[in-house]
Amino acid sequence: MPHLHIKEFKEIKFKKNYEGVSFNFAAKNIAHQDETLISVSVEGDDFFLLAKQEESKNLLKTDKLTRPASIHNVHRALLAYGDLAKLEVLSSNVPQKPKNIHLQTSTALKDISFFTDGFLDDKRISIEVGFGSGRHLLHQAKENRDILFIGIEIHRPSIEQVLKQISIQNIDNLLVLDYDARLFMELVPSNIVEKIFVHFPVPWDKKPHRRVISTSFIEEARRVLKLEGRLELRTDSENYYAYSYETFIAFHKTVLHINKNRDIAISSKYEDRWKKMQKNIYDVTMINEEKSDPLLIEGNFDFRDVKISEDELFALHGVTKKFDGGFIHFERVYKLENGVMFRVSLGSFDRPEHLYITIRENLPSYYPSLPLSSKSNLLAHKYLDEVFHG
């Protein structure tokens, strides 16, 4: 993660523009005085920088929750704040160089809002979840120019590697998204996807709730797939294979193809290594044989005025509110110069969304963007509005 190791953190006056970076406001954690968030805007990206003392070190880095699409914009914001606040930098891993030419020209990286505005109805669509090095994803896109591929990944170096190759190889049928695939599936219209690839997902043996393959993910996959559409899982983990098979077969009606050590047209560098180690590779392919009802999501994320006091808002720190179908957890509370801010997790229990909410002049607002328009999030929002409204 890019960061500046600094002697001490210094605040600036807000609002301030410097070197193409807008510094908007600061938020101070009421429970931890060593943590301050700084709102920044760079070339359409809105996110937080985090000033924090960690293990006797003062660090200025990017906030994981609001990390922007462009890592180069994070670099710009860190360097600009350090220069503007005249911070004494002890060490840094932030490169002071211009953005890679291929990343400058690539338009393949999209924000989640691009997909909430609607899919291209005239396109054939396939999705790869967790594309890693991108070898399989790039191969599929080049071999199937009439299909729009959507690659979903949260590992930044992998994303930038694929974006460079998209530019170098002039691939125009591939979009990249840095987002939780489990949440993304909830906004995909029904019956439009031809294939979903989940190749070598992290097994998460000690944290199985974080696995991509789950009952809810399979339900969404069955909904979004066309008739005869396929969900293809490929794994080298015997535990993950056994768990996934049991999860698939638990459905009342399902068609599965099982393969072991099947050769495919393109393999990842890790798969090549595992084959040399004589590790087994398992494939579970689910074929969709049912047409689903259209996706119907109703509601909005409007708030009413806050009616509870500031002390009551502060008292929400650490509180969890549960309701039928989901929950809201007030993870942290921050003091703004003219208001209050919360970091919350909300939505369904198995795939919650994490975000910030600012309250100024008794009016709440999500920052830096609205939650995903899913049924569970809209239900959680309704309950959250009731909490604030008293």
Nearest-angstrom CA–CA distance, 252 and 313: 46
Nearest-angstrom CA–CA distance, 81 and 83: 5
Nearest-angstrom CA–CA distance, 344 and 332: 7
For the record, the structure tokens of 346 come out as: 């909300």
pLDDT at 35: 95
Considering only CA atoms, give the Rg of the chain. 23
The model's pTM: 0.81
Task: Say whether pLDDT at 106 is over 60.
Answer: yes
Q: Label residue 8 exposed, middle or buried (CB < 10 Å: 0-12, 13-18, 19+).
A: exposed
- What's the pLDDT tens digit per position in 240-255? 999 999 999 999 999 9
- What's the pLDDT tens digit per position in 1-49? 889 999 999 999 999 999 999 999 999 999 998 899 999 999 888 999 9
pLDDT at 101: 60
**Cis, peptide link before residue 15, omega less than 30° from 0:** yes
Q: Apex CA 42: angle with CA 36 and CA 48, to 5°?
A: 20
Task: Say whether pLDDT at 98 is over 90.
Answer: no
Task: Say whether pLDDT at 143 is over 70.
Answer: yes
- Asked if 28 and 335 count as a contact pair (C-beta separation under 8 A), the reply is yes
- In angstroms, the Cα distances linking 363 to 111, 166, 366 are 26, 43, 10
Task: Say whether pLDDT at 117 is over 90.
Answer: no
- What's the pLDDT tens digit per position in 200-242? 999 999 988 889 999 999 999 999 999 999 999 999 999 999 9
Task: Say whether pLDDT at 97 is over 90.
Answer: no
